[in-house]
C-alpha cells in the first residue's frame, strides 16, 4: 500500500541542523566537533546529557541494552524530466519513503527489513541487499532506472517499546539521556530536548515518568524458545516468526521486540 499526506512538509534536515547550531552558537553554546568521547569519565561537567540516539555505544553499558542502533539507507537520483510527486510519499506502513525535490531529483529511502539483522548496527555504510531493493523500487516508480548520484546511510535508535528514553539515568548523578526515538527523532527530538532542559532547571514535566530510562535499564527474560541466535554487527541477535506481518527480534537477555514486516526477509 502506498500513501501520501498533502499537508506533510518536507524539510532539509542538514540545513535545518546547521541553522540551529548557528543560533545556539550566537547564544553562547560551544561546539567541539570531531572529538570522540570514549567515556563519560573524561568529562568534568556537573550535568551531562547523552543525546546521541542510536550512536554512542559504550558510553554507558546499561544504555547499550536499552537503545539499539538501526541503520537506514537512502539514494538520490539525477533530476528526472517529469514532475511525478508533489508531496512526500510512503509505502508499506512507512518502511519506504520518497519525495521529489524542487530540481526534479528523487530521494528514496527504506527497505531495511530486507536484511533486518544486518541493519541492526551503528556502522554507517551502505549494503548491497538494501541498495538493490532501493534501485528495484526506483524502477517500479519511474518505469526506468535513472542515474543514482548519491547513496548513504544513517543511524537511529530503537527501544523495546518504541518510546524514547528521556530523563535522569539511574545510579548516575548528573547524567541525563534523550535518545531512542525509533525513527521519529525529527519530531520527538525537540519535545524530549525541551523536557530535559526544563528538568535541569527544576521544572519536571509529568511526561518524564512515561519516558523514564529506568523502565528499560533492567534486562528482562526472553520468553518462549526462540531459534538459535544469529550474529549481527557487534551483538547477538535472534529472529522468530510472530505472525504473517511481523517477526520478533530479540537480543540475548532482553525481552522480544515485535518488528512489522513490509516485504521479504533476506539474509536470515
The answer to whether position 245 is within a domain reads no
What pLDDT does 195 receive? Answer: 96
Which of 158, 187, 204 is a domain's end point?
158
What pLDDT does 187 receive? Answer: 84
Torsion region of 140: left, alpha or beta (phi above 0 gives left; psi -120 to 50 gives alpha):
alpha
pLDDT band at 57 (very low <50, low <70, confident <90, very high): confident
User: If you ran DSSP here, which 8-state letter would residue 215 be given?
Assistant: G
Q: What is the pLDDT of residues 173-230, one digit of tens each?
A: 899 999 999 988 888 999 999 999 999 999 989 999 999 999 998 544 333 333 333 3
The CATH number covering residue 125 comes to 3.30.9.10
- Residues 164, 136 share a domain: no
Q: What φ, ψ does residue 174 adopt, rounded to 5°?
A: 80, 10
Cell of 69: 542502533
Quote the CA–CA distance of 135 and 132 in Å, as a whole number: 5
Quote the CA–CA distance of 204 and 103 in Å, as a whole number: 45
Dmax (CA) for the chain in angstroms is 58
- Judged against a pLDDT cut of 80, whether residue 112 lies above it is answered with yes
The answer to whether position 47 is within a domain reads yes
- Judged against a pLDDT cut of 60, whether residue 110 lies above it is answered with yes
How far CA 153 is from CA of 58, 112, 157, 199, 267, in Å, comes to 21, 11, 14, 33, 18
- Residues 203, 146 share a domain: no
Count of domains forming the chain: 2
Residues in the chain, total: 268
The answer to whether position 177 is within a domain reads yes
- Residues 170, 42 share a domain: yes
Partners of 98 in the β-ladder:
89, 108
The answer to whether position 31 is within a domain reads no
Q: Starting at the earlier edge strand, list the strands of the sheet with 257-260.
A: 230-232, 235-243, 246-251, 257-260
- Judged against a pLDDT cut of 50, whether residue 86 lies above it is answered with yes
Quote the CA–CA distance of 268 and 264 in Å, as a whole number: 10
What pLDDT does 2 receive? Answer: 58
The CATH number covering residue 61 comes to 3.50.50.60
The answer to whether position 266 is within a domain reads no
The answer to whether position 237 is within a domain reads no
- Residues 165, 61 share a domain: yes
- Residues 77, 145 share a domain: yes
- Residues 55, 163 share a domain: yes
- Residues 134, 82 share a domain: yes
Q: What is the pLDDT of residues 224-252, one digit of tens each?
A: 333 333 334 444 445 544 444 444 555 54
User: The cell 538494501 sits on which residue?
Assistant: 130
What pLDDT does 153 receive? Answer: 97
Domain that holds residue 97: 69-158
- Residues 126, 169 share a domain: no
Cell of 241: 516468526
Amino acid at each position: 500500500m502506498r500513501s501520501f499526506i498533502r499537508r506533510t512538509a518536507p524539510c532539509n534536515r542538514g540545513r535545518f541542523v546547521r541553522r540551529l547550531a548557528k543560533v545556539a552558537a550566537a547564544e553562547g553554546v560551544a561546539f567541539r566537533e570531531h572529538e570522540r568521547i570514549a567515556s563519560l569519565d573524561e568529562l568534568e561537567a556537573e550535568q551531562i546529557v547523552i543525546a546521541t540516539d542510536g550512536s554512542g555505544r559504550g558510553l554507558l553499558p546499561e544504555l547499550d541494552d536499552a537503545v539499539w542502533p538501526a541503520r537506514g539507507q537512502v539514494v538520490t537520483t539525477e533530476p528526472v524530466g517529469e514532475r511525478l510527486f508533489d508531496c512526500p510519499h510512503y509505502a508499506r506502513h512507512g518502511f519506504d519513503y520518497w519525495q521529489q525535490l524542487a530540481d526534479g531529483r528523487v530521494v528514496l529511502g527504506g527497505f531495511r527489513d530486507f536484511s533486518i539483522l544486518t541493519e541492526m548496527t551503528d556502522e554507517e555504510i551502505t549494503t548491497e541487499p538494501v541498495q538493490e531493493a532501493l534501485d528495484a523500487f526506483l524502477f517500479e516508480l519511474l518505469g526506468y532506472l535513472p542515474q543514482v548520484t548519491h547513496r548513504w546511510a544513517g543511524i537511529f535508535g530503537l527501544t523495546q517499546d518504541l518510546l524514547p528514553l528521556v530523563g535522569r539515568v539511574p545510579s548516575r548523578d548528573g547524567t541525563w539521556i534523550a535518545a531512542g526515538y525509533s525513527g521519529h527523532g525529527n519530531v520527538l527530538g525537540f519535545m524530549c530536548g525541551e523536557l530535559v532542559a526544563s528538568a535541569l532547571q527544576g521544572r519536571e514535566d509529568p511526561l518524564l515518568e512515561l519516558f523514564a530510562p529506568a523502565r528499560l535499564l533492567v534486562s528482562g527474560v526472553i520468553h518462549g524458545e526462540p531459534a538459535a541466535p544469529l550474529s549481527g554487527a557487534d551483538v547477538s541477535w535472534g529472529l522468530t516468526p510472530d505472525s504473517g506481518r511481523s517477526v520478533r527480534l530479540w537480543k540475548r537477555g532482553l525481552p522480544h521486540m515485535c518488528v512489522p514486516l513490509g516485504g521479504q526477509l533476506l539474509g536470515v
